[in-house]
Amino acid sequence: MVQVKVHEGILEGEVVENEYGKPFCSFKGIRYAQPPVGDLRFKAPQPAKPWQGVRSAKEHGPDCYHYDAFTFPLPPPQGSEDCLYLNVYTPTVSPAKPLPVMVWIHGGGFISGSGSDMLYGPEFVVRKDVILVTLNYRLEVLGFLCLDTEDIPGNAGMKDQVAALRWIKKNIKSFGGDPNNITIFGESAGGVSVSFHLISPMSKGLFNKAIMQSGTVACWWPNTFRPRDRALQLAKQLGCESSDDKEIYEFFKKQPVEDLIKKRMPITFAETEKEAGAYVYLGVVSEKKFGDNETFIEGDVYDLLRRGIHEGVTVINGYNEDEGAFWFQTGSDFDKIFHQANKYLEYFVPEPLTINCPIKTQLEIGKKFKEFYMKGKPVSRETLDMVIKFFGMEVFAYGAVLWQKICAKRNRNKLYMYKFTCVSERNCFKYASGTGELFGYRTIVSHSDELGYLFPMKVVPNKVERDSEIFQMVEQFTTLWTNFAKFSDPTPDDSLQVRWKPYTLDDQAYLDIGEKLVLKSHIDKEEVEFWENIFREYYPHVAP
């Protein structure tokens, strides 16, 4: 056993053997805020209360109540509203000098996931002499419902993350960590969360470096369109016809948690049509200011991004080679997607243009996209690779490149960019999503496939042998990320046989992270230029 004293009291964790390296100290299920239940539902989290005596930290706290939407077959719901817990894994609580800290923010489309070691075990990372922290936050309706009122202002899940970062900043020294060397990193909705923290006034000063994997604020899907309309529609779905905000709040507050998950809230016909694939209904919103309450984000995210991210923070940003495979996830109606894509030109219109352009213009845009990607061929299982490329750019890749170019224009922060191309049995998407039949022989590096190289994920069936080529890819990837946490430079020396150059608008350098590391320039150049030209012509607000 091992004990540490934090501001709220004494925690007792345990020393754990690590088959990939030295033993480490594990502290699980640490409460970082009060349970967000009762009158605290939808509200900003409140600081955790102190306790007497020694509190055990050997089991994970409950996940936020949710369906695991990205696992096949779909399991029953799990978790609790009392979910604001984090986990700390440290090589030692008494190092010779304070250790770098890496805080992982999980993905899951803001509707699913947790910080538990089922997916995000520490064994690969802590062997590199850094501390890993993972955390839970409120999801879906509990975390992201917005009525634009003081009672339900939105962004509760993001404020949970801020509360966790404040707790870490205040307490990590007790675990042997350096509070002045904190890297936040995350994937998908976690990567998006990281990029929001880079522009949120609530998060300023809480971290020093950031890594965004497959998600940024410049993607369309985390920025909720007309959030109040979605909240009102959900109230009606659940049986509340009132137009009084106080009555609606009281109604939501009293709903059993079981009724607040797995909800679809389309407010346009186009959204209804796209329900055959993945769609995010609730995410981050621009908040209204109410009294002295802190707001996580106020204003248009593209305007905020153009004003600059937090000064002095160094950033890695990138995506995977076949991000668009994610559109064909668990529960997707593949044949319906193909039918819709063949029937409607609007299916090939990126979401910001769907929202902001008239239907006549959308048809014109859709024709250009369809010709660029399909080249006269129908959408089908035989042309799946072309469809994957379109969805990959629409949902993830274009937003990543746009973010990079907007920030590089200011030339105020050191930025790195990557593309992940590793292929092995560690690529976890096929296992988790049940889409092996659809993709068949295809070698894909899908959305989320890099996670198996950072964490010994229990959903990936085979153990990594330390003398294998696969482990060399794990070693390479974790070295890049932990070097960045230690030195603000992923390749501070020649040990990886490459020097990863920072990204500038002149050479647009990026690192191809495959079996080998290769420095390249102008990521997905032809596709990116096509997208940029479309947006410059039809909606320049979403162009570099």
Query: What is the reported pLDDT for 271?
Result: 78
Mean pLDDT of the chain: 94
DSSP state of 61: P
SS3 letters for 76-130? CCECECCCCEEEEEECCCCCCCCEEEEEEECCCCCCCCCCCCCCCCCHHHHCCCC
Which pLDDT score, from 0 to 100, does residue 463 have? 82
* Alpha helices, DSSP H, located in 149-244: 156-171, 189-197, 227-237
pLDDT computed for residue 279 by the predictor = 77
The answer to whether residue 72 scores a pLDDT higher than 70 is no
User: pLDDT confidence of 286, banded at 50, 70, 90?
Assistant: very high
Please provide residue 397's backbone torsions phi and psi, each rounded to the nearest 5 degrees. Answer: -70, -45
Cis? peptide before 73, omega within 30° of 0: yes
β-strand pairing of 21-31 with 85-90: antiparallel
Both structure tokens of 58: 């050997």
Q: Per-residue confidence at 117, pLDDT binned at 50, 70, 90?
A: very high
Backbone φ and ψ of 147, nearest 5°: -105, 0
Give burial (CB, 10 Å; 0-12/13-18/19+) of 65: buried
What pLDDT, on the 0 to 100 scale, is given for residue 417?
98
Residue type, 120: Y
- Is the confidence at residue 331, as pLDDT, over 60? no
Q: Which two tokens stand for residue 355?
A: 């929202």
pLDDT at 276 over 90: no
pLDDT of residue 483: 98
Question: Which residue blocks in 277-322 are alpha helix, DSSP H?
Answer: 301-307
Ranges of H-type helices in 359-428: 359-374, 384-392, 398-410
- How far apart, in whole angstroms, are the C-alpha atoms of residue 538 and residue 152? 34
Q: With 0-12 CB in 10 A as exposed, 13-18 as middle and 19+ as buried, what is 294?
A: middle
Residue 157 DSSP class: H
User: Which element (helix H / strand E) includes 527?
Assistant: helix 525-538
- Residue range 487-522, pLDDT digits in tens: 999 999 999 999 999 999 999 999 999 999 999 999
Q: Which of 11-20, 62-71, 94-103 has the lowest mean pLDDT?
A: 62-71
What are the phi and psi torsion angles at 463 (to 5°)? -70, 150
Q: Are the CB atoms for 513 and 449 separated by under 8 Å?
A: no
Rounded to the nearest 10 degrees, the angle between the axes of helix 359-374 and helix 525-538 is: 170
Question: Does position 275 have pLDDT exceeding 60, yes or no?
Answer: no
Share of the chain above pLDDT 70, in %: 95
Q: Which CATH class is domain 1-217+298-333+381-526?
A: alpha beta
**How high is the pLDDT of residue 429?**
79
β-pair type (415-420, 314-320): parallel
Higher pLDDT, 46 or 436: 46
Mean pLDDT, range 86-109, rounded to an integer: 98
Least confident interval from 238-252, 366-380, 449-463:
449-463
Cβ atoms within 10 Å, residue 266: 15
Q: What is the pLDDT of residues 446-492, one digit of tens each?
A: 999 999 999 998 877 678 999 999 999 999 999 999 999 999 999 99
Report pLDDT for 468: 94
Percent of the chain with pLDDT over 90: 84
Q: Which tokens in the block code for residue 520?
A: 């390249």
Q: Which sequence spans correspond to the domains of the chain? A: 1-217+298-333+381-526
Helix (H), strand (E), coil (C) string for 312-355: CCEEEEEEECEHHHHHHCCCCCHHHHHHHHHHCHHHHCCHHHHH
Confidence band (pLDDT; 50, 70, 90) for 434? low
Q: What is the mean pLDDT of residues 317-346?
A: 84
Q: Pick from 543, 521, 524, 522: which is nearest to 532 by CA?
A: 543
β-strand 85-90 against 509-513: which pairing, if any? unpaired
Q: Measured between alpha carbons, how far is 514 from 519 in angstroms, rounded to an integer?
A: 11
Q: Which residue has the tokens 């006549």?
A: 360
